[in-house]
Structure 1
Amino acid sequence: MPELVLPTTRLHAAFLDCRDDWGPGLHEDGFGLDTDDDVDSPEGFAAWVHQRVRLTHPAGRPCPPERHGSPRWIVEDGRVLGGIALRHYFDDDIGHIGYGIRPSARRRGLAGWALGEMLGEARAALGLNRVLIPCLADNVASARTIERNGGALEGIRDTEHGPVRRYWITLDR
């Protein structure tokens, strides 16, 4: 049974295995990787994880509000299968939620399950009425996942990464 867990150094090898399943590039939505992040070395990975968790739990620590978020890894039997992140701020370009499932774990309903969990958190913890979730226009699987979770297509917008579908999900109270 999969679970959503906070980023942890305990899963370094499993994270790298997940990343390698995608191949080169920074396209693992839900992990928040930047081009200058060192996730290969144990020290760099520990710093990256600490930064993700610190930004997730700002209580008692200074943290700029524009970086608050709730990143989670989708883990099953010690394997990292993907990631999902709920942003605690609104960004019209990237939306409230981003997610990605490693290629070898797709077509199992993991994205839909994880998205449903994060929608509950957006409603309960953040009090949001609705969330914006974009996906690349040619990503039919992601579009269907969002639609199955109540996504209503606002439209398609051209971005620097290509055309993006923009979905709004209204959260029930």
Structure 2
Amino acid sequence: MAHLISPDPRCRESFLAAMAEFQAEGRGGSDDRTMIGSELRDFADTWHDPAAFEIFTRFLRDQALESSPRPEHFVPSTTLWWVEGDEYLGRLAIRHRLSPFLLEVGGHIGYDVRPTARRRGHATAMLRAALPIALELGIDPALVTCDDTNIASRRVIEANGGVLEDQRGDKLRFWVPCSR
């Protein structure tokens, strides 16, 4: 059964396969402002080395710490991977607080499911599993956004109790209760 884990080097092979899938659909270019896009640009050249990949997973885990270095406009965030055994299926980030940018566009929680694992309920289950973790971080409700054209993501958010607040530009903004 799939579940959330902290980024773990044991998932390296399936992670690399998933990143190749994301790249095949055009992710990672300079215009890709997603978590996956940033990771592809900033780290993909090092992932072939198991030791460097272990450093990458430690970097992701450390981003949850207030004291970790990060760009000025970034906030602490907990990155979790959705896995079944050692098979990487997707990732989720819980941002511990909202910056002005996150309030408008990014929200508290962002997620991606690898292309070959989509349409199997993983995103809905992943977001559901993340809500108690967000609550432990003092977040309730969580702001979750999606592009106005992303019907699948909208359904994921609504299936988890998300209530549409408004649309800002091309982003729909939902508030999702973390305590149930």
Question: What TM-score, normalized to structure 1?
Answer: 0.83
Structure 1 contact 81–101 (Cα < 8 Å) conserved: yes
For 1:172, the equivalent position in structure 2 comes to 179
Distance (Å, rounded) in 2 between the aligned partners of 1:28 and 1:16: 20
Letter of the structure 2 residue corresponding to residue 147 of structure 1? E
Task: Provide, for residues 1-29 of structure 1, a one-character-per-residue CA deviation record: whole Å limited to 9, x for no partner.
Answer: 10211112221111011111222423695
Deviation at 1:68, TM superposition (A): 1.8
Q: What is the aligned length?
A: 165
Shift in alpha-carbon separation, 1:6–1:171, aligned structure 2, 3 A: closer
Greater shift in the superposed pair: 28-37 or 110-119 = 28-37
Distance (Å, rounded) in 2 between the aligned partners of 1:63 and 1:40: 21
> Does 1:133 pair with 2:141?
no
> Does 1:49 pair with 2:49?
no
Structure 1 contact 29–83 (Cα < 8 Å) conserved: no
Instruction: Give the unaligned 5+ runs of structure 1.
Output: none
Structure 2 contact 124–160 (Cα < 8 Å) conserved: yes
Shift in alpha-carbon separation, 1:29–1:84, aligned structure 2, 3 A: farther
Structure 1 contact 29–100 (Cα < 8 Å) conserved: no
More strand by share: 1
Instruction: Give the unaligned 5+ runs of structure 2.
Output: none
* CA RMSD after TM alignment: 2.3
Sequence identity (%): 32
Match of 1:86 among 84, 94, 102: 94
Question: What TM-score, normalized to structure 2?
Answer: 0.81
> Does 1:8 pair with 2:8?
yes
Match of 1:95 among 77, 88, 107: 107
For 1:68, the equivalent position in structure 2 comes to 76
For 2:41, the equivalent position in structure 1 comes to 35
In structure 2, the residue corresponding to 1:168 is in which secondary structure?
A: strand
For 1:25, the equivalent position in structure 2 comes to 27
More helix by share: 2
Shift in alpha-carbon separation, 1:11–1:172, aligned structure 2, 3 A: closer
